[in-house]
Amino acid sequence: MSRLSIEASTPLCLLQDAGRFGVRHLGVTQGGALDWVSMAWANWLLGNALNAAVVEITLGGFTVKAEDYCLLALAGADLGAHIDERAISPGRSFVLQKGQRLRFTQPFDGARAYLAAPGGFDAPAVLGSCATVAREALGGVDGLGNALAAGGRLSYSGTGGALQELSQPALPTGGPLDVIVGAQIGQFSGQSLFDAFNTDWALDSRADRMGMRLLGTPLQYQGPSLISEGIPLGAIQVPPDGQPIVLLNDRQTIGGYPRLGALTPLALARLAQCLPGEKVRLAPVVQETAHRQHIEYLRRFQTAGRACSR
Amino acid sequence: MKPRIEVVAIDCLMVRLFDVIAEANMPWMLAATQRLRSDFGTALVDLVPSYTTLMVHYDLTALSPAGARHRIDQALADLQPQAQGSGQCHVLPVWYDLRVGPELSVLSQRSGLTVDEVIRRHSAHEYQVFALGFAPGFAFMGLVDEALATPRLSTPRKRVAAGSVGIAERQTAAYPVVSPGGWNLIGRTPAKLFDRERDGYSLMQPGDTVRFQAVDHAEFIRLGGDDTPLEAQP
């Protein structure tokens, strides 16, 4: 077993995997890495299952010290990671010698970094997952939903993995965020539909793992009030004030606000790397097209070459 | 019964069975749930029932959108309502008291009924569990006697004690854990509503029925209830 002691952390540094499934009908939220693409690449770098337990570090403020020789991988945002005094860029695996520190300072590019270890970090599976959801007291290293905290410890038991780096950025970049339009789309005013897909939306600072609010021209829903129903990941719900909220991994399982549609998983991964104040555009896409693009993207994990970093 | 299927996400379809909330929906909802679970098998990621809908979240690496739609059509062909009583029936002991159910007086005033009559009517009905949501194990149940229907508090409480039993409009529920909440509180149950060690985790499952049984303070404590007044809980 290889161990890391946590010297600094924040409530936004969480153990995550793909999330909890098969329990949504019990009111249990999904949880899981917000930028699933970067989580998958971090794991890919070590030859792990793509959804093995990783640390999701949001904005920085996280420091670990190796208590043993550790092989780790990093993908996602550039949060100013350093091994002792040496800067290290995301998209690669690396060694932390016993006694060395890995430190994340502040966001330079993106918002969330993912740290992986061979075989995934050790954590109990709670309802099938180690995804940390503080609100539900589920997941994490202790199984009780607590964020990683200074004084705590991470460990992994897997072996193998090699030093390598990604030959391309982990995330597809540029362009609007794809929205699969939902059944209630016709109930928004024509002007609102135009505004939704032709104007900028700024990310509000009121954002967490449950949802991100988009600020812009308010959208007008003209349909009848709705009975609560299941909410998919990425749903863009429009409350009465007209400012849409993108519902993320820790969302409630059912809800009754009208919805514009739902972001595609690839769009969600990109959104997860946006900071408050950043502007995004939305673009409508049909389910079949989005599905095709998604399957195509997943193929990269099979075909991508592993470049030896040294 | 011709359910409508709507696109909601890349890997989710909404099966809309009804347009209004009714207890009579449940036998159909249960039958549809069972059919969908068995027909999708391992391609099913999650099935989220609510009052009138079932959200089917399927594995998008196993099924295309058209394939999933087809599978739903097949599963729900010739759907027949499930026989009544196929869900479990739970009896939840409740200590109805102003100390833990401050809105008992509000309900009494609004309805013109005595507090005892409010309690009697709340505990007289066998409720359907329409859906779980808001928090793990939080069951939305109904329908509550029309005289007791009361809108949510205009300002939700920051902390509602675990086990609190409340009413919102014609629905009733019990809070599994301490959480914020805007329901009108009328009592508290000692029952453990969500337990990660329990098979199935949640005491109540969609389609189950629930009856509340009034118990006195001594019995509430004997059953393991915590009578700490609302805001004093740690």
- Give percent of chain A with pLDDT exceeding 90: 89
Q: Where do the domains of chain B lie, and which CATH numbers do they carry?
A: 4-76 (3.30.1360.40), 89-232 (2.40.100.10)
Q: Where do the domains of chain A lie, and which CATH numbers do they carry?
A: 2-165 (no CATH), 177-300 (2.40.100.10)
The contacts of residue A83 (CB under 8 Å, 6+ apart) are: A94, A96, A100, A101, A102
**The residue to which tokens 């399957």 are assigned:** A295
Which phi and psi angles does B73 have, rounded to 5°? -55, -45
Nearest C-alpha of chain B: how many angstroms from A228?
Answer: 7
Report the alpha-carbon distance of residue A34 to residue A48 in Å, rounded. 19
A66 in contact with chain B, both atoms CB, cutoff 8 A: no
- Give percent of chain B with pLDDT exceeding 90: 91
Over the stretch A166-219, which tens digit does the pLDDT of each residue have? 877 767 777 999 999 988 899 999 999 999 999 999 999 989 999 999 999 999
* CB pair distance less than 8 Å for A230 and B14: yes
User: Which residue in A253, A294, A296 has the most chain B C-beta atoms within 10 A of its own C-beta, making it the best mutation to test that interface?
Assistant: A253
The contacts of residue B77 (CB under 8 Å, 6+ apart) are: none
Q: Give me the residues of A, 156-175, that contact B with CB < 8 A.
A: none
Whether B98 and B104 have beta carbons less than 8 Å apart is answered as yes
Of A27, A136, A182, the CB nearest to B132: A27
What is the Cα B151 distance to its own chain's centre?
A: 17
In chain B, which residues have their Cβ closer than 8 Å to the Cβ of A260?
none
Report the alpha-carbon distance of residue B207 to residue B44 in Å, rounded. 19
What is the Cα A179 distance to its own chain's centre?
A: 17
The contacts of residue A10 (CB under 8 Å, 6+ apart) are: A58, A59, A61, A62, A147
Nearest C-alpha of chain B: how many angstroms from A12?
Answer: 20
**The residue to which tokens 């936004």 are assigned:** A12
Residue of B nearest to A299 (CA): B61
Judged against a pLDDT cut of 60, whether residue B202 lies above it is answered with yes
* CB pair distance less than 8 Å for A228 and B206: no
* CB pair distance less than 8 Å for B9 and A180: yes
Question: Measuring CA to CA, which residue among B210, B221, B200 is closest to residue B165?
Answer: B210
Over the stretch A87-110, which tens digit does the pLDDT of each residue have? 999 999 999 999 999 999 999 999
Please give the model's pTM, rounded to 2 decimal places.
Answer: 0.94
Residue A310's pLDDT is 39
Q: What is the ipTM of this complex?
A: 0.95
* CB pair distance less than 8 Å for A23 and B46: yes
